[in-house]
Amino acid sequence: MNHAEAAVAFNRDENRVDWHDETLWFVRSKRDRAAQTLPEWEQLREAASQIKNHVLSNMHDLLTQFEQNALANGITVHWAADAAEHNAIVHKILVDNGVNRMVKSKSMLTEECHLNPYLTERGIEVIDSDLGERIVQMRNEPPSHIVMPAIHLKRADVGDTFHKHLGTEAGATDPQYLTEAARQHLRDTFLTRRVALTGVNFAIAETGGFVVCTNEGNADMGVHLADVHIACMGFEKIIPRAEHLSVFLRLLARSATGQPITTFSSHFHKPRRGYGRRGDGRRGDGRPGQQMHIVIVDNGRSRQLGRPEFRNSLKCIRCAACLNTCPVYRRSGGHSYHSAIAGPIGSILAPNIDMKQNADLPFASTLCGSCSNVCPVKIDIHEQLYKWRQVLMQEGYGPTAKTVSMRAMAGVLESPRLYRLAGKVGRGVLRFAPVLAENNLNPWYQHRDMPEAPGESFREWYVKRVMSDER
Amino acid sequence: MNVGLFIPCYVDQFYPQVARATLQLLESLGCTVAYPLDQTCCGQPMANAGYAHLTDGCNQNFIRNFSGFDYIVAPSGSCTLHIKHHLHGKGDTDERAAQQIQSRIYELTEFLTDVLRVESLPTRLPQRTVVGLHQSCHGQRGLNLAPMSELMREQGISKPAYLLRLVEGLELVDLDRRDECCGFGGTFCVTEEAISVKMGKDRLADHQRHGVEVITGVDVSCLMHLQGILRRQKSSVQVKHIAELLVKSEK
Contact state of B48 with A389 under an 8 Å Cβ cutoff: yes
Interface test with A, best of B192, B203, B232 (most A CBs within 10 A): B192
For A416-430, how does the pLDDT look when each residue is reduced to its tens digit (9 = 90+)?
999 999 999 999 999
Contacts of A410 in chain B (CB under 8 A): 43, 46, 51, 54-55, 57-58
A390 → closest Cβ in B50, B187, B225 = B50
Q: Where are the alpha helices (DSSP H) in chain B?
A: 9-14, 16-28, 44-48, 56-66, 77-86, 91-104, 108-110, 137, 143, 159-164, 188-191, 193-209, 220-232, 242-246
CATH architecture, range A1-37+309-398: Orthogonal Bundle (1.10)
Query: How many angstroms separate the CA of residue A226 from the nearest CA in chain B?
Result: 42
User: Which residues are bridge partners to B172 per DSSP?
Assistant: B131
Nearest C-alpha in B relative to A12: B194
Q: How far apart are CA A250 and CA A462, in angstroms?
A: 58
The pLDDT-based confidence of A284 (bands split at 50, 70, 90) is low
In this structure, the strands spanning A238-239 and A264-268 are unpaired
- Provide the pLDDT for residue A437: 87
- Provide the pLDDT for residue A440: 84
Neighbours of A216 (CB within 10 A): 19
Is residue A228 within 8 Å of A293, Cβ to Cβ?
A: yes
Contact state of A444 with B183 under an 8 Å Cβ cutoff: no
User: In chain B, which segments carry CATH 3.40.50?
Assistant: 120-246
Contacts of B61 in chain A (CB under 8 A): 414-416
Strand B2-5: give its sheet, edge to edge.
B32-34, B2-5, B71-74, B105-107
Residue type, A24: L
Query: How many angstroms separate the CA of residue B46 from the nearest CA in chain A?
Result: 6
The closest of B64, B6, B83, B123 to A462, measured between CA atoms, is B6
Residue type, A227: D
Query: How many angstroms separate the CA of residue B175 from the nearest CA in chain A?
Result: 14
Contact state of B189 with A444 under an 8 Å Cβ cutoff: yes
Predicted complex ipTM exceeds 0.95: yes
- Provide the pLDDT for residue A272: 86
Q: How far apart are CA A292 and CA B238, in angstroms?
A: 65
- Provide the pLDDT for residue A466: 79
Q: Where are the alpha helices (DSSP H) in A286-342?
A: 301-305, 321-325, 327-332
- Predicted confidence (pLDDT) at residue A275 exceeds the cutoff of 80: no
Q: How far apart are CA B108 and CA A468, in angstroms?
A: 27
CA distances to A391, A419, B22, B54, B80 from B42, rounded to whole Å, are 20, 13, 18, 12, 8
The answer to whether residue A392 neighbours chain B at the CB level (below 8 Å) is yes
Is residue A279 within 8 Å of A266, Cβ to Cβ?
A: no
Contact state of B52 with A25 under an 8 Å Cβ cutoff: no
User: Which residues are bridge partners to A238 per DSSP?
Assistant: A203
- Predicted confidence (pLDDT) at residue A471 exceeds the cutoff of 80: no
CA angle B186, B187, B193 (to 5 degrees): 110
- Predicted confidence (pLDDT) at residue A154 exceeds the cutoff of 70: yes
- Provide the pLDDT for residue B194: 97
Q: Where are the alpha helices (DSSP H) in A242-369?
A: 245-256, 301-305, 321-325, 327-332, 343-353
CA distances to A217, A303, A339, A360, A383 from A354, rounded to whole Å, are 34, 12, 10, 11, 20
Q: How far apart are CA A391 and CA A307, in angstroms?
A: 11
Is residue A16 within 8 Å of A9, Cβ to Cβ?
A: no
Question: E-strand spans in A12-157?
Answer: 76-80, 101-104, 125-128
- Provide the pLDDT for residue A286: 54
The closest of A83, A49, A24, A47 to A313, measured between CA atoms, is A49
**pLDDT, mean of each 10-residue run, chain B (251 residues):** 96 97 97 97 96 97 97 98 96 94 98 98 95 97 97 95 97 97 96 97 98 98 98 97 90 48
Stretch A17-39: mean pLDDT = 98
- Provide the pLDDT for residue B138: 97
Domain A40-276+285-299 sits in CATH at: 3.40.50.10420
User: Which residues are bridge partners to A196 per DSSP?
Assistant: A103, A229
The closest of A435, A402, A427 to B11, measured between CA atoms, is A427
Contacts of B58 in chain A (CB under 8 A): 410, 413-414
Contacts of A3 in chain B (CB under 8 A): 192
Contact state of B54 with A11 under an 8 Å Cβ cutoff: no
Across A393-415, b (16+ Cβ under 10 Å) vs e yields beeebbeeebbeebeebbebbbb
The pLDDT-based confidence of A273 (bands split at 50, 70, 90) is confident
Q: CB neighbours of A422 closer than 8 A, spacing ≥ 6?
A: A412
The answer to whether residue A245 neighbours chain B at the CB level (below 8 Å) is no
Worst-scoring range by mean pLDDT, A43-52, A366-375, A462-471, B222-231? A462-471
Q: How far apart are CA B53 and CA B69, in angstroms?
A: 27
pTM of the predicted model over 0.80: yes
DSSP A231: E
CA distances to A311, A342, B177, B201 from A25, rounded to whole Å, are 29, 16, 10, 16
A446 → closest Cβ in B16, B188, B193 = B193
The pLDDT-based confidence of A281 (bands split at 50, 70, 90) is low
Nearest C-alpha in A relative to B49: A389
DSSP B138: I
The pLDDT-based confidence of A280 (bands split at 50, 70, 90) is low
User: Which residues are bridge partners to A264 per DSSP?
Assistant: A214
Nearest C-alpha in B relative to A425: B13
- Provide the pLDDT for residue B2: 94
The closest of B108, B109, B111, B89 to B100, measured between CA atoms, is B89
**Count of alpha carbons within 13 angstroms of residue A40, beta-carbon side:** 7
The domain spans of chain A are 1-37+309-398, 40-276+285-299, 412-467
- Predicted confidence (pLDDT) at residue A278 exceeds the cutoff of 90: no
Q: How far apart are CA A470 and CA B57, in angstroms?
A: 32
Mean pLDDT of chain B, nearest integer: 96
- Provide the pLDDT for residue A435: 87
Interface test with B, best of A367, A439, A469 (most B CBs within 10 A): A367
Is residue B185 within 8 Å of B221, Cβ to Cβ?
A: no
Ordered DSSP codes for A134-179: HHHHHTT---SSSSSTTTT--HHHHHHHHHHHH-PPTT---HHHHH
DSSP B183: S
A454 → closest Cβ in B14, B148, B195 = B14
For A361-410, how does the pLDDT look when each residue is reduced to its tens digit (9 = 90+)?
999 999 999 999 999 999 999 999 999 999 999 999 999 999 999 999 99
Mean pLDDT of chain A, nearest integer: 95
Contact state of B56 with A414 under an 8 Å Cβ cutoff: yes
User: Check: CATH 2.60.120 for B120-246?
Assistant: no
Query: How many angstroms separate the CA of residue A417 from the nearest CA in chain B?
Result: 8
Residue type, A165: H
